[in-house]
A and B are shown apart, each in its own frame.
Chain A
Amino acid sequence: MATTVDKPADLEQRDDHLRRTAHSGNGGGRDLVPADGSLRAVQDHSPAASTGIWVGLTAISMTFAALTSALVVRKGASTDWQHFTLPSVLYLDTCILLGSSVTLELSRRYFARSLAGLRAGLADSARWLYLTLLMGVVFVSGQYVAWLQLRHQGLYLSTNPSSSFFYVLTAAHALHVLGGLGGLVLVTYRLSRSRLRRSTLDIASRYWHFMDVLWIYLFLLLWFKM
């Protein structure tokens, strides 16, 4: 056990050092109040929410990884796996969800412009956001149509393990998309009241894009396994 001399003499100097050497997150260098006293700037810098969304997405990834491994094991466990054609509406739905990511990015871009002082940016941002919301609703409705198409084929939740997994995976994803829609409604409300922070929009976008990527993954999984 070595004994060394700690030199914390100069607070200012030490703070600079801490800022430079902070290993991660905000620890070791958190500024509560900037020099100009602008609270908005502080509040908009929300590393916890940014970290939090990644943590949340990790949990969601684990859930779908568990369901994927369950699908693989169940498919190999027996010869009763029945292959079926994916409902055609899923192709359209996939395009709509991908498109909604594009419209959300456009909204984000216009919002950034509005922050830069361009008044028109805010209205454009809202317009693209409404379109994103609409596409999200259409996507979830499309999933419902897919379930109806499957029922029409005589494939219900308990008909076969393949249909069971189809319903479980698509329903789990749709529930998460509904959660994302709730977040976007909040973002839209705040935008309409001019109370939207950029970080909030960024975090909502990150979640939405993740839902997009997750759906592509699930779609490919279903495509290959069904």
Chain B
Amino acid sequence: MHDTSAHAVHQHAAPTSFIRKYVFSLDHKVIGKQYYGLALLAVLTGMVLSWLMRLHLGWTDLKIPGLHLLSASGAPGDVMTPEYYLQLMTMHGTIMVFFVLTTAPFAAFGNYFLPIQVGAEDMPFPRFNMMSFWVTFTAFLVLISSFFFGDGPTLAGWTQYAPLSAVGAVAGPGQGTGEVLWASSIAIFCVGQLLGSLNFITTTLDMRTKGMSLWRLPLTAWGWFITSVMGLTAFAVLMPACILLILDHVAGTSFFVASNLVLNDQLQPHSGGSTLLWQHLFWFFGHPEVYIAIVPGMGVVSHILVANMRRPMLSHRVIVYSMGALAVLSYMVYGHHMFVSGMNPFSSLVFSFPTLVITIPSTILVLIWIGSLYGSKLRINTASLFALGFISMFISGGVSGFFLAQPSIDIMLHATYFVVGHFHLVMAVAAIFGIFAGTYFWYPKVTGRMMNETLGKIHFWLTFVGAYCIFMPFHYLGIAGNVRRYQAFVDDYLVRLIPLHRFITVAALCTGAVQLIFLYNLFYSRFRGEEAPLNPWQATSLEWSTPSSPPPFDNFGGRHVVVYHDPYQYGIEGSTDDYVMQDSPAQIQSVRDEK
């Protein structure tokens, strides 16, 4: 019954040479794996940096063997200087936000599965797609190179507030060459993500196969589509902002540096610039970036839960509308990062309102997930556990957002560990749980082998407990007045908090070590894992309709896929199985959540 008309419009022929097949590949699946590899490399780097920071926070005078090899001036005698702590912190934040939380859930999974889930043989602009990865990889190299040039990477934090970021070497170590490398890296990164977003949007709009109407897209595809629209509009703003920042550095312009600024007894040769201008431009990107990190995870988690609940979500459409609402509102709330920046207090009220409103779609999503789970016979496997973990982290981190959304409370909590705990849970750990869930779920499709479930469950429980041990105490620290970005605690009231910091450090080291279980599982299963059936989770979307795992070069082996059903046809009465694939022409009692 399948339409077997040949694929006439191949974007490109299957490559044969090693370089074209694995390095400069045009195949979206290879590019997706390349992005995943980059994210893995980046997350390991970022995690090691966080370990170094945590060790320093717990035991300020601790000698970390070999640290001087990374920077002789930043760690004389293997003891970290205050400035070097800030440099490592900046790199930790930058690497994690840009090269992990953006690349893995969006670029890696999206590249691999979006074309397959819409029934296409590839993305419409494969060359742009290839460039997208290599440009992003170049950005990573440029960023990492700042460790080895001059006096190391910038110390201005991942938000790079002016004037610290804009005045040059006089502001401290890394603020010369390191700063320019940071801004160049991020500008290059923006180009890569713009090329990627272009492909994602056009793939979703124009590459859908016959029968794949927009409402038949799985929730993952919706997540990636909405994210790509955010990426397109947000990175297009950050890029010129970075260029202006570079010009302030190298060309002596005064976009972000005010008049009469004296640093280290030197009057700065700038005039009239606006420090708030950088914050406006940065956060116009920065807040959507939070959703760029989390919305793909929302799609992935919904997708995985549905397959394991064996029934659709309470409302497919409301999930899509909520993710869309998050995207739209994300541009209207960015000013809540600037409540104490000195901007007009009336602006704080204006930004506070949509910030409180954005909790509505977030809450709707959580209620739909929990309501759908209620009474379901959820299959417990590592992927579904991590999906549940995502919801848990999203709720825990989201609740603290209610407090921060109100300017009067934010005045006290701003720039404390409360904020650090909030965004790590709601954005970072939740997104990472989404990445883990996606990895365990799609691994059989990508490699043809199963990951070890026992190891996976151990990995989940230890990570779940560990993440809470690390990030819940951050909230208490913040309420106690512990300011963030301090490299040591010497004030009377802060000294008493050091034991809690040491507990967090131990928890961070242990939780980091637990990730070795994941790495072992990831690589061991690739070669020795149990061979995976074509559709191990009895799922319905098109990635499980490919003729092999991993899918062939053109995804469907020359078959022109036709879609007949909504994406989540589970619990079908009268069917031999309890599910029907999207491309099955079988006449069924369709499960629909909307008419």
Residues of A within 8 A of B (CB): 1-9, 11, 14-15, 18, 21-33, 39, 42-43, 47-49, 51-52, 55-56, 58-60, 62-63, 65-67, 69-70, 73-74, 77-81, 157-158, 161, 164, 168, 172
Residues of A within 8 A of B419 (CB): none
Shortest Cβ distance from B312 into A: residue:
A1
Q: Return chain A residues, CB-CB under 8 Å to B5.
A: 32-33
Which of A4, A6, A58 is B595 in contact with, Cβ under 8 Å? A4
Give the contacts of B183-216 with A (CB-CB under 8 A): 194, 197-198, 201-203, 205-214
Q: Apart from A5-B589, A161-B255, list 7 A-B contacts with CB within 8 A.
A: A2-B593, A14-B564, A42-B8, A63-B236, A66-B236, A73-B280, A168-B244
Q: Is the CB of A43 within 8 A of B240?
A: no
Q: Given A15-B210, A63-B240, A77-B273, A52–B587 Cβ distance below 8 Å?
A: no
The answer, yes or no, to whether B124 is at the interface (CB within 8 Å) is yes
Inter-chain contacts of A7 with B (CB < 8 A): 587
CB-CB under 8 A from B590, the residues of chain A are 3-6
Selected from A1, A43, A47, A69, the residue in CB contact (under 8 A) with B206 is A47
Inter-chain CA distance A81–B254, complex, in Å, is 11
Taking CB atoms, residues of chain B closer than 8 Å to A23 are: 213-214
A-B contacts counted at CB < 8 A amount to: 193
What is the minimal beta-carbon distance from A81 to any residue of chain B, in angstroms? 8
The answer on a CB contact under 8 Å between A63 and B202 is no
Contact A161 B210 (CB under 8 A): no
A164–B203 CA distance with the chains assembled, in angstroms: 39
Contact partners of A39 in chain B: CB under 8 A: 8-9
B213-231 vs A, CB cutoff 8 Å, 1 = contact: the mask equals 1100000000000000000
Asked if B155 is at the interface (CB within 8 A of a chain A CB), the reply is no
Separation of A22 and B194 alpha carbons in the complex (Å): 27
- Contact across chains for A43 and B9 when beta carbons are under 8 A apart: yes
Query: Given A59-B233, A78-B259, A161-B272: A51 and B205 within 8 A (CB)?
Result: yes
Of chain A, the residue at the smallest CB distance from B560 is A32
Choose one: A42, A55, A69; the contact of B202 (CB below 8 Å): A55
Closest Cβ of chain B to A62, distance in Å, is 4
Taking a contact as CB atoms under 8 Å apart, the answer to whether B124 and A48 are in contact is yes
Q: Is B43 an interface residue (CB 8 A)?
A: no
Question: Contact check: which of B209, B232, B254, B593 meets A1 at CB < 8 Å?
Answer: B593
A40 to B206, CA, bound (A): 18
Whether, in the assembled complex, B277 has its beta carbon less than 8 Å from a beta carbon of chain A, the answer is yes
Partner pick for A3 among B3, B7, B9, B589, CB 8 A cutoff: B589
Contact A55 B236 (CB under 8 A): no
Interface residues as binary, B266-278 with A (CB distance below 8 Å gives 1, 0 otherwise): 0000011110110
Indicate whether A21 sits within 8 Å of B206 (C-beta atoms), given known contacts A42-B8, A55-B232, A80-B271. no
Q: How large is the interface on B (under 10, 10 to 19, 20 to 34, 35 or more residues)?
A: 35 or more
Chain B residues with Cβ under 8 A from A26's Cβ?
205-208
Please tell me if the beta carbons of B202 and A52 are within 8 angstroms of each other in the complex: yes
- Cβ of B112 under 8 Å from chain A: no
- Of B197, B209, B239, B254, the residue contacting A161 (CB under 8 A) is B254
In this complex, which of A49, A62, A69 has the most chain B Cβ atoms within 10 angstroms of its Cβ?
A62
Interface hit among B245-253, B489-497, B543-551: B245-253
Instruction: Check B259 against A56 for contact (C-beta < 8 Å).
Output: no
Q: How far is the CB of A152 from chain B (nearest CB, A)?
A: 19
Residues of the A chain whose Cβ atoms lie less than 8 Å from the Cβ of B592: 1-4
Write out the residue numbers on chain B whose beta carbons fall within 8 Å of the beta carbon of A55: 197-198, 201-202, 232
Which of A4, A48, A51, A78 meets B272, CB within 8 Å?
A78
Would you give the shortest CB distance from A137 to chain B, in whole angstroms? Answer: 25
Query: Which residues of chain B come closer than 8 Å to A69, judged between CB atoms?
Result: 280-281
Known contacts: A32-B560, A66-B237. The answer to whether A56 contacts B595 by CB under 8 A is no
Question: Which A-chain residue is minimally distant from B209 (CB atoms)?
Answer: A30
Q: Which of B214, B232, B243, B244 contacts A59 (CB 8 A)?
A: B232
Contacts of A80 in B (CB 8 A): 254, 259, 271-272
28 interchain pairs (CB within 8 A)?
A: A1-B312, A1-B593, A3-B573, A3-B589, A3-B592, A4-B589, A6-B588, A26-B208, A27-B206, A27-B207, A28-B208, A28-B211, A28-B212, A42-B8, A48-B124, A48-B206, A51-B201, A55-B232, A62-B233, A63-B240, A67-B240, A74-B255, A74-B273, A78-B258, A158-B254, A164-B254, A164-B255, A172-B240
**Known A78-B272, A80-B259, A164-B253: A48·B244 in contact at CB below 8 Å:** no
Tell me, yes or no, whether B55 is within 8 Å of chain A by CB. no
Which residues of B come within 8 Å of A, CB atoms? Answer: 1, 3, 5-9, 118, 124-125, 194, 197-198, 201-203, 205-214, 232-233, 235-237, 239-241, 243-244, 247, 251-255, 258-259, 271-274, 276-277, 280-281, 284, 312, 314, 560, 562, 564-565, 573, 585, 587-593, 595
Which residue on chain A has the smallest CB distance to residue B216? A28
A21 touches B213 (CB 8 A): yes
Main secondary structure, interface of A, reads helix
Q: Are A48 and B125 interface neighbours, CB within 8 A?
A: yes
Nearest 9 CB-CB pairs, A to B? A78-B272, A27-B208, A48-B124, A62-B236, A158-B252, A77-B274, A6-B590, A25-B205, A80-B272
Q: A7, A21, A32, A33: which has the most chain B beta carbons within 10 Å?
A: A32
Q: Contacts A7-B587, A11-B585 given: A25-B208 contact, CB under 8 Å?
A: yes
What is the CA–CA distance of A16 and B187 in the complex, to the nearest angstrom?
A: 47
A158–B273 CA distance with the chains assembled, in angstroms: 12
Q: Nearest chain A CB to B492's CB is how many angstroms away?
A: 40
- Nearest chain B CB to A76 CB, angstrom units: 8
List, in ascending order, chain B residues with CB within 8 A of A81's CB.
272
CA–CA, A52 to B276, complex, Å? 34
The complex places the Cα of A123 from the Cα of B592 at a distance, in Å, of 58
Query: Which residues of B have CB within 8 Å of A168?
Result: 243-244, 247
Determine the residue in chain B with the shortest Cβ distance to A34. Answer: B8
A172 vs B591: C-alpha distance in the bound complex, in angstroms?
A: 52
A120 to B235, CA, bound (A): 46
Q: Residue among A9, A15, A55, A80 with the most chain B CB within 10 A?
A: A55
Q: Note all chain A residues with C-beta closer than 8 A to B211.
A: 14, 18, 28
Given contacts A1-B593, A27-B213, A32-B5, contact A59 B194 (CB under 8 A): yes
Q: Is the CB of B240 within 8 A of A70?
A: yes
What is the CB-to-nearest-CB distance from A68 to chain B, in angstroms, rounded to a whole number? Answer: 10
Complex: how many Å from CA A97 to CA B136?
34
Q: When chains A and B are docked, how far (Å) is the Cα of A81 from the Cα of B590?
A: 66
Residue of A31, A47, A70, A157 near B251 (CB, 8 A) is A157
In contact, A24 and B214 (Cβ under 8 angstroms): yes
Which chain A positions have C-beta within 8 A of B202? 48, 51-52, 55
Q: A66 and B284: CB pair below 8 A?
A: yes
- Min CB distance A67 to B, Å, is 5
Contacts of B232 in A (CB 8 A): 55, 58-59, 62
B278 smallest CB distance to A (angstroms): 9
Nearest A residue to B275 via CB reads A77
Closest chain A residue to B589, Cβ basis? A3
What residues of chain A lie closer than 8 Å to B194, measured between beta carbons?
A: 59
Q: A161 near B595 (CB under 8 angstroms)?
A: no
Residue in A18, A21, A24, A77 with the greatest tally of chain B CB atoms within 10 Å: A77
